[in-house]
Structure 1
Amino acid sequence: MTTLTEAAPAAAAKHKAAGTTLPPARGQSFLKLVTIELRKSLDTRSGRVLVAAILLIALAAMTWQITHLSDDGGASFAGFLGAGSAGTMLILPVIGVMAMTSEWTQRTALTTFTLSPRRVRVQLAKFVSAIALSAVVMTAVVALAFGFTALAGAVTSHSTSYADLGGQLAGSYLTMALNVVMGAAFGAVIAQTAVAILVFFIAPTAWSLAGHALFKDNANYLDVFSAFGRIAERDLHGMVPETLTAIGVWVVLPTIVGLWLSSRREVK
């Protein structure tokens, strides 16, 4: 009996000592979170269909462009990129919306935020992953524009032009990033995919149509589409305050509000 009594504390001490030798739990790196969110964006059928639809629309637009080249003009990279980017810029923000609303609409928020309790960090990873995925899609559109420009020069009598290539690419990627962040911000605020997409398209469009009739030139301070256009052209036309205000109201403010709401939204 004495032997058993003495052995029990010794075993407990040995078990405790062994427990202290275990390595501390390592937190998830931000890069790991971004990688997970990227995979989640493409693991669903809707995500893959969306990306495929964007590329098909860009391909169709450039095909139309190459078959309707004017006789007195050349085949420019800017023309093909503009044709392919028109639909791309319109639909790409949906990637951001879906990235932010997926946890709530697919009821995976409990699992996600149990494994990664720091919600704002997860939401920021979603922003980054949406921008990264959109950049990949945009790069594919740029590659198509290069290919169609070269093809036009090879199979038609038109001369090709790559004038202001760096400026064209910089403007396109910057506008793309702002568009996607704006879409993600609306998704973070509303958290319902269909409603967020609807509000994203209707609210700024309604302002751009009605604002000038109501507030004249002052409407430019909240016209985000005009601000995006000036940024894409790399020429603010002397409207720096208007551009910064529009970006602040439609992009920065919804992002802040969305992160705040996401960190306090009830998880069911």
Structure 2
Amino acid sequence: MSTTLTPTPTAVVPTAVVPAAVVPVAGSTARRTGPSFPALTGLEIRKSLSTRSGRSVAALAVLVGPLGVLLATVTSGGGVVAAMALGIMGMLIALVLLALGVLSTAGEWTHKSVQTTYLLVPQRGRVLAAKAAAMALLGLLLASLGVAGAVGALALFTAGVSWVGTAQAVAAVIASGAAFAVIGAGIGAAVGNSAAAMTGTYLTVLGILPVLNSVEPEIAEKLDPAGAITVLAQQGAATTPIAVIAGWVVVSTIAGVLITRRRSVA
């Protein structure tokens, strides 16, 4: 009797499929993940205006100019030099926009939303650049609306206005508003706390520097960004005021970037 041997099928053990390594082709560029810079800038603008505090500060920046003109008209009785009035109103607008910039950066650390922000875009320098761009655009827009309201209030409610130098005053106010919003963003990023950043900055600009101006006016002239706005509004493109405001922008932005890159978000 013959026996037929049937071969037993060999069990097939599944093996994990290992994806092939992606080798970059010469001349190709890696695709960046995450939102583009314009989209990220737009997102930062929406974030700044999505909170009650952000909307309140933005509204105040628009209204403080015409309200200040009306108050000055009631107390002065007319005979106003437009460039001087706009310089003062521009300083108030810029100081309000400074708070908006602080809230855009320090507000995220205060409310712990910074973890979500840097999870979406881990490149902190890119996020801060988008915040600075967003604040510059918001500053330009809000300062333009504020100075337009101030000019309209001067034309409608003030008698005997001298309009000499008004164009240069308007340009100075708008540019200063954008600059102060960026300064606020840099200071907020460096300090990491909204209340501390605004208290320290306003104490310096409105307290320490005016005292220094009464003691050492030549030194204060080279440090005071608020006083630089009034000088620009009345004198035009003066070198020292422009250098003072630009210095605050550069120093605050660099400080914000360096400190933020080393700060833990946990």
TM-score for both structures, normalised by structure 1: 0.76
Distance 1:203 1:81, change over 3 A: closer
Q: CA deviation at 1:140?
A: 1.5
Distance 1:137 1:267, change over 3 A: same
Tell whether 2:30 aligns with 1:29: no
Distance 1:102 1:59, change over 3 A: same
Q: CA deviation at 1:128?
A: 1.4
Aligned to 2:221: 220
Distance 1:51 1:226, change over 3 A: closer
Alpha-carbon contact 1:66-1:148 (below 8 Å) kept = no
Alpha-carbon contact 2:102-2:187 (below 8 Å) kept = yes
Aligned to 2:230: 229
Aligned residues: 250
Q: CA deviation at 1:192?
A: 0.2
Alpha-carbon contact 2:83-2:233 (below 8 Å) kept = no
Distance 1:140 1:114, change over 3 A: same
Distance 1:167 1:70, change over 3 A: same
Q: Rg bigger for which structure?
A: 2
Aligned to 1:85: 90
Q: Distance in 2 between matches of 1:108 and 1:164?
A: 45
Alpha-carbon contact 2:87-2:231 (below 8 Å) kept = no
**Deviation per residue, 1:206-253 (Å, 9 max, x gap):** 44234356656344333333333333334476x74x863x44654322
**Deviation per residue, 1:50-107 (Å, 9 max, x gap):** 2223334334223334555646x37x75466456435322212100110111221111
Tell whether 2:143 aligns with 1:142: no
Tell whether 2:53 aligns with 1:46: yes
The gaps in structure 1 that reach 5 residues or longer are 17-23
* SS of equivalent residue, structure 2 residue 35: coil
Aligned to 2:170: 169
More helix by share: 1
Q: Which amino acid aligns with 2:123?
A: R
Matches within 5 A, 1:174-185: 174-185=175-186
Q: Which amino acid aligns with 1:118?
A: Q
Matches within 5 A, 1:117-266: 117-152=122-157, 158=159, 162-212=163-213, 215=216, 217-235=218-236, 240=240, 244=243, 246-247=244-245, 250-266=248-264
Which segment drifts farther, 113-122 or 166-175?
Answer: 166-175
Q: Which amino acid aligns with 2:65?
A: A
Distance 1:256 1:79, change over 3 A: closer
Bigger relative contact order (CA 8 A; separation at least 6): 2
* SS of equivalent residue, structure 1 residue 233: helix
Which segment drifts farther, 34-43 or 88-97?
Answer: 88-97
Q: Which amino acid aligns with 2:35?
A: Q
Q: CA deviation at 1:151?
A: 2.9
Q: Which amino acid aligns with 1:140?
A: L
Q: Which amino acid aligns with 2:101?
A: G
Distance 1:83 1:206, change over 3 A: closer
Distance 1:208 1:236, change over 3 A: farther
Q: What is the aligned-residue RMSD (CA, Å)?
A: 3.5
Aligned to 1:21: none
The gaps in structure 2 that reach 5 residues or longer are 1-7, 21-30
**Deviation per residue, 1:3-49 (Å, 9 max, x gap):** 9959x78x969x98xxxxxxx66442111111111111111111112
Matches within 5 A, 1:95-106: 95-106=100-111
Alpha-carbon contact 1:134-1:180 (below 8 Å) kept = yes
Distance 1:129 1:2, change over 3 A: farther
Aligned to 2:68: 61
